[in-house]
Amino acid sequence: MASVKPPYLGAAYYPEDWPLEQIDEDIALMKKAGMNVMRVGEFAWSRMEPEEGRFDFSWLHLAVDKLGKAGIATIMGTPTCTPPIWLVTKHPEVLVVGEDGVRQQHGARRHGCPNSPVYRDYCAQIVQVLAKEFGKDPNIIGWQIDNELYFSTPRGCCCPVCHQKFQQAMKARFGTIEALNAAWGMDLWSQTYQSFDQLPIPLSRTWHHPSLLTAWMVFQSDSYVDFCNHQADLLHKAVKQPVGTDMMPFSGVNYQHIHEKLDLVQYNHYHGMENFWENAFWCDFIRPLKPAPFWNTETATCWGGATTANGYKEPGFCRANSWLPLAMGGEANLYWLWRSHWSGQELMHGSVVTSAGRPMHIFDEVQEISRGFDAVREFLNGTRPIQTGVALHFSGFAWWLFEFQPLVHGFHYAASLMRQVYHPMIEVQLRPDVIDPASSLDGYRLLFSPFLPALDEAGLKDRLRAWIESGGVWVVGPMSDIRTMEATKFRHAPFGVLEDWAGIRCDYDIPGDPRQFSLQWSDSTPSEGSIWYHGLKTVDAEVLATYTEGPFEGLAAVTTKKLGKGRIIVLGTLPTPEDLKSVLLTIAQEAGVSPVADATGNLMVVPREGKAGKGMILVEMLNQTASITLREPVTDLLTGKTHSGMVDVPPYGVLVLKKA
């Protein structure tokens, strides 16, 4: 829609739930709020196709046309998350089956099996018809495939179709059942199989082999990737607008894989005041997935909730929450939802206006956000976050491997990575790209890989070695390079290649439960480890820290070794967050990487540059006053005020600073 330029500010709109004559009233309020985009259609299959083969898009055209005439663009969703009752009545076999063998019922969402050929055919038909109707509509700026593709049951779909496809996938992967048995070590407990059709669905009530469990859940992820790809292929043949799918901030479905055929990343999140900074982690992860700016397609204005409201947000939170994705590389922020539902399962969720059409208490803040987006449109559209040379690994495969092999009590992969590694990094103003193992390492000088169990994922091992030898600094561990891609241990050593690369030897490990162990840095500074402990002996490496107690007393806790032009630093355990900050700053300096700013840890500082100049966006994340010491005079594009030296940023404040 040529007349509507990013940044986009909008909401999810459900015209199928309201009288059509109310659209003008809604649009007037949208304009008053300062919105320029609405997301529609994602759950409206029964309204689009009330009976099999009878389509009705008149109401949707009316809504899209009226929005367009008012200068409000539309993101069109395919409705395949919510199959209509006539479909599931005629074909109950399309419904997801839980691990208990019970099929899902009509009445919720995400209950269609991603592998069902019958369901795929019906999805293809509605997608193709919808694309024909709106694929060339100038009011449509993008497409959203389905809604939040992930599992509606703990083991995904366990129907006969999925079970058979899993067995076929394992046959394609291993070739022979003997090869599978050998790779997974199935002689233990007489678990050997005689044919692929004996492979079971790994039910949670049975203590199943972790290799089987991991393979099953990776297969479930691959199933949704394939389901998404099917629709992407259809849309790309018929529409001219970019295509994405809105994803939630967890990795049950592999982000890297699902975006390979998509044009942009669409991202939904509902972080609260207590964990708002975690949204920064996900923004740093989704930004490198695609060159195009990402769209934050869902977030709450004020609180979440289904039939019970939860998570009230203090004044200013909506401002910071709406600006953060724009600062970190996005170009859209949409709220869920526009007008609060008057019926159904999500009656108590926060919105922009009430079900009676009355502006919520947050309305003024939304208007302020809109004015701010307008004021800095040229700078936002003409700059991008700069790559700082720092990267942090995050793996979808590791997500599932640690789900079934957490190694130590209390360890949760994503939470531990965010809270004990990423958060200390951003508190000292190191601005990482969070990257998948499949991502290129070009342009990075410093790479952190904690809790990365399998270096063979996506061919990382060979690329990583070459990157280090050409000058990269790799900080690795703990619990990295400890598993094969079959979720098994190595038999020759506790690590795959790390002992050889890093010049170390590890004879045994100790879990950090129920206690932690002390260590001392080479400058005699005392410290403490956490989570896991590798006791290291040096072969031709230098010791940076030594254990001072327990079975490891006198062994190395942290080592370093040059490899080619680069360096490997092995963390045998994870230092406390405060100590890790000092370690990070020292290592970054040696790698030629600097913090992006001299600022307090509660301030997200995002340097940006491009044809519109250079500058940075500041977002306060903890509802506390922050401060930054500026290196040169800048102008705040939101206020027109010039700043220099030390500047205070108010709680949940936002500054858009441009260099002269």
At 62-78, the pLDDT tens digits run 999 999 999 999 999 99
Burial class of residue 537 (count of CB atoms within 10 Å of its CB; 0-12, 13-18, 19+): middle
Average pLDDT over residues 241-256: 94
Residue 241 has a pLDDT of 97
Average pLDDT over residues 387-394: 98
Residues 437, 241: Cα–Cα separation, whole Å: 29
Strand partners, 143: 76, 243
DSSP 199: P
Residue 574 has a pLDDT of 97
pLDDT at 189 over 80: yes
Q: Read off the pLDDT band of 294 (50, 70, 90).
A: very high
Residue type at 258?
I
State the helix-helix crossing angle for 23-33 and 363-375, rounded to 10 degrees.
60
Q: Read off the pLDDT band of 146 (50, 70, 90).
A: very high
Domains 1-35+264-375 and 51-241 share a fold: yes
Closest by CA position to 203, among listed 97, 347, 122, 310: 97
Residue 251 has a pLDDT of 78
> What 3-state DSSP class applies to 490?
coil
% of the chain exceeding 70 in pLDDT: 100
Q: Name the fold adopted by 598-659.
A: Immunoglobulin-like (2.60.40)
CATH class of the region 51-241? alpha beta
CB count within 10 Å of CB 168 equals: 12
Average pLDDT over residues 162-177: 98
Q: Read off the pLDDT band of 144 (50, 70, 90).
A: very high
State the helix-helix crossing angle for 160-174 and 177-184, rounded to 10 degrees.
80
The CATH code of domain 1-35+264-375 reads 3.20.20.80
Residue 479 has a pLDDT of 98
DSSP result, 135-152:
TT-TTEEEEE-SSS---S
% of the chain exceeding 90 in pLDDT: 98
CB count within 10 Å of CB 629 equals: 12
Residue 250 has a pLDDT of 84
Residue 2 has a pLDDT of 77
Residue with tokens 């709680």: 651
Average pLDDT over residues 431-440: 97
Residues 617, 636: Cα–Cα separation, whole Å: 9
Residue 86 has a pLDDT of 98
| Phi (first) and psi of residue 372, to 5 degrees | -65, -45
- Kindly report, residue by residue over 295-340, the tens digit of the pLDDT: 999 999 999 999 999 999 999 999 999 999 999 999 999 999 999 9
- Kindly report, residue by residue over 622-639, the tens digit of the pLDDT: 999 999 999 999 999 999
User: Could you give the C-alpha distances from 397 to 211, 483, 535, 569, in angstroms and in order?
Assistant: 12, 11, 26, 23
Residue 253 has a pLDDT of 95
pLDDT at 660 over 90: no
Considering only CA atoms, give the Rg of the chain.
Answer: 26
The CATH code of domain 390-590 reads 3.40.50.880
Beta sheet of 246-247, edge-to-edge order: 243-244, 140-144, 73-77, 37-40, 8-12, 330-335, 294-298, 266-268, 246-247
Question: In whole angstroms, what separates CA 521 from the centre of its chain?
Answer: 35
Residue 3 has a pLDDT of 85
User: Could you give the C-alpha distances from 294 to 152, 245, 441, 581, in angstroms and in order?
Assistant: 25, 11, 21, 29
pTM over 0.95: yes
User: Could you give the C-alpha distances from 390 to 33, 189, 589, in angstroms and in order?
Assistant: 38, 45, 12
E strands of 463-555, at which residues? Answer: 473-476, 504-511, 518-521, 526-528, 532-538, 542-547
Residues 617, 603: Cα–Cα separation, whole Å: 10
Burial class of residue 562 (count of CB atoms within 10 Å of its CB; 0-12, 13-18, 19+): middle
Mean pLDDT rounded to a whole number for the chain: 97
Annotated domain spans of the chain: 1-35+264-375, 51-241, 390-590, 598-659
Average pLDDT over residues 614-619: 98
Average pLDDT over residues 420-424: 97
Average pLDDT over residues 187-211: 96
Q: Read off the pLDDT band of 496 (50, 70, 90).
A: very high
Average pLDDT over residues 584-600: 96
CB count within 10 Å of CB 375 equals: 16
